[in-house]
């Protein structure tokens, strides 16, 4: 991998990780367009540079992270409740992902499954785009474990590359009764656990294979670029959803699905 390719992959990761468009799908397609063939090392790299996006949310939501940390120490009741909710929401996808990881990589890490997931998710967003806009709902302080479980079950759908973890968890949160602001924030916080666990697991499982192919400079470049672009993407998304709905992401997904379909049919992917 060239240095400039690492920067592009980091940029794509950071921009798409927390948007409801699927960072995994975008990364896999971008790798193919850059001439990086599917492999254990390439798949691992796409997961590991998520650490940059994790760092972005840790910084942007440091006050909430501090509350959760105090809750873990028994010094903040609200933080304890939120931590329990995050654990409940994290477990379903963690268990399912751990048991199906190899099967998912074998059958779903390809352009057709990703394009199908993009298209289905795009249509869904366009159908429901006005339903939740400006809707009042519960805040994170009102979070119940039942709501967290609903979000956790919804997150399982994101194990299919192209579905988008953010899409699944935000819609799960809205369906469970959270406000748009609370659903987005919980999705970001849940990402710290989910992405952190996935990154750690992939690093331990396939990190050596990745290092044999990609050097530390390329890995560091992807991390830093993912961090910087994720900061910009999260700030933009929060501001956008405060005034507008999810429809733009539906058109984004349909455009991506169309582009990939054309590239595959014309033999360019």
Residue-wise pLDDT for 25-49, tens only, equals 899 889 989 999 888 899 899 889 9
Mean pLDDT on 252-262? 96
Determine the Cα–Cα distance for residues 11 and 222; give it in Å rounded to an integer: 8
Is the pLDDT confidence value at 234 over 70?
A: yes
Non-local (6+) Cβ contacts of 85 within 8 A are 143, 144, 145, 147, 148, 186
Structure tokens at 162: 């192209």
Is it the case that residue 135 has pLDDT exceeding 80? Answer: no
Structural tokens at position 150: 């609903």
Q: How confident is the model at residue 132 (pLDDT cuts 50, 70, 90)?
A: confident
- The chain-wide mean pLDDT, for the chain, equals 92
Token pair 């028994």 in the structure block, residue? 74
- 131 pLDDT exceeds 80? no
Chain mean position to CA 171: 13
Residue 14's pLDDT is 96
Q: At 158, is the pLDDT very low, low, confident or very high (cuts 50, 70, 90)?
A: very high
């Amino acid at each position: 991998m060239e240095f400039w390719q690492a920067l592009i992959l980091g940029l794509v990761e950071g921009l798409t990780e927390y948007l409801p468009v699927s960072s995994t799908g975008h990364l896999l397609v971008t790798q193919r367009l850059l001439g990086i063939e599917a492999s254990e090392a390439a798949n691992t790299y796409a997961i590991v540079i998520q650490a940059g996006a994790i760092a972005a949310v840790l910084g942007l939501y440091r006050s909430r992270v501090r509350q959760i940390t105090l809750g873990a120490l028994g010094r903040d009741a609200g933080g304890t409740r939120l931590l329990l909710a995050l654990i409940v929401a994290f477990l379903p996808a963690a268990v399912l992902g751990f048991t199906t990881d190899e099967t998912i990589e074998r059958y779903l890490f390809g352009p057709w499954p990703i394009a199908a997931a993009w298209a289905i998710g795009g249509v869904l967003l366009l159908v429901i785009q006005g339903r939740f806009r400006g809707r009042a709902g519960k805040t994170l302080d009102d979070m119940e474990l039942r709501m967290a479980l609903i979000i956790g079950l919804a997150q399982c759908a994101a194990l299919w590359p192209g579905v988008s973890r953010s899409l699944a968890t935000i819609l799960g949160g809205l369906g469970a009764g959270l406000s748009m602001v609370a659903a987005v924030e919980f999705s970001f916080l849940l990402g710290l656990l989910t992405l952190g666990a996935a990154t750690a697991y992939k690093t331990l499982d396939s990190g050596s294979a990745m290092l044999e192919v990609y050097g530390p400079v390329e890995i560091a470049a992807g991390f830093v670029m993912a961090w910087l672009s994720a900061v910009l993407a999260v700030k933009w998304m929060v501001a956008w959803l405060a005034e507008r709905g999810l429809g733009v992401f539906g058109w984004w997904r349909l455009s991506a699905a169309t582009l990939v379909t054309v590239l595959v049919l014309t033999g360019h992917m």
